[in-house]
Structure 1
Amino acid sequence: MILEAAMLHIKPGMTEAFEVSFKKASPLISSIEGYLGHELQKCLEDDHKYLLLVRWRSLEDHTVLFRESPEYTEWKALLHHYYHPFPVVEHFARIELE
């Protein structure tokens, strides 16, 4: 499993609209093969900052299957205009401790 993490900085005055748009966009990402789940968390110290976490079966499920899909085009149209600056997206793999 791969964990995608992105810190989202939302333009001032747009957080409520962003949350509505994110709810509309969520079915787009969840329809992609290899998608395992996602969550959006709002920062307690900065109400314009959100943490997006998405679990994927593999890196390619995100970087190829999703990002090259028509669903991603819709995702971008719904969400990308809220971000400033544009988020850095990173991918993580779990380290087994035992």
Structure 2
Amino acid sequence: MIVEHAELTVSAGQEQQFEAAFAEGRKVLAEADGFRWAELLRCEERPQTYLLLVGWDSVEAHTVGFRSSERFQRWRSLVGPYFDKAPVVEHYHELGDRFTG
């Protein structure tokens, strides 16, 4: 499995609207082939900054399958208007099971 790590910066004063739009956008993500899970986190020190983590079957499931699909256009139309700048996206592969203590 691959984890997409996307840092999203939202325009000042648009945080609540972005979070509401993401609640709808996550439904679109969930329809994508190769999608496994998604989590959105908000930064304490920089409240306009969010970390989006998405589990995918492969990098290609995200970069080719999803990004070239109509679903990506729907997702981007929901959340994109709130971005202050382009998201920074990287992909990570798991090295083992999640440690829970």
TM-score normalised by length of structure 1: 0.93
1:69 matched to which residue of 2?
Answer: 69
1:82 matched to which residue of 2?
Answer: 82
User: After the TM superposition, which segments of 4 or more aligned residues of structure 1 sit over 3 Å from their partners?
Assistant: none
- Unaligned runs of at least 5 residues, structure 2: 97-101
Quote the sequence identity (%). Answer: 38
Within a 5 Å distance, the mapping from 1:32-43 to structure 2 comes to: 32-43=32-43
Secondary structure of the residue aligned to 1:40 is strand
TM-score normalised by length of structure 2: 0.90
Q: What is the identity, as a one-letter code, of the residue corresponding to 1:91?
A: H
CA-to-aligned-CA distance 1:37-70 (integer Å, 9 cap, x gap): 0000011112111100000011111011111111
Report how many residues are paired. Answer: 97
Is 1:24 the equivalent of 2:24?
yes
2:99 matched to which residue of 1?
Answer: none
Measure how far apart 1:22 and its partner are: 0.3
Q: Distance in 2 between matches of 1:32 and 1:78?
A: 16
- Unaligned runs of at least 5 residues, structure 1: none
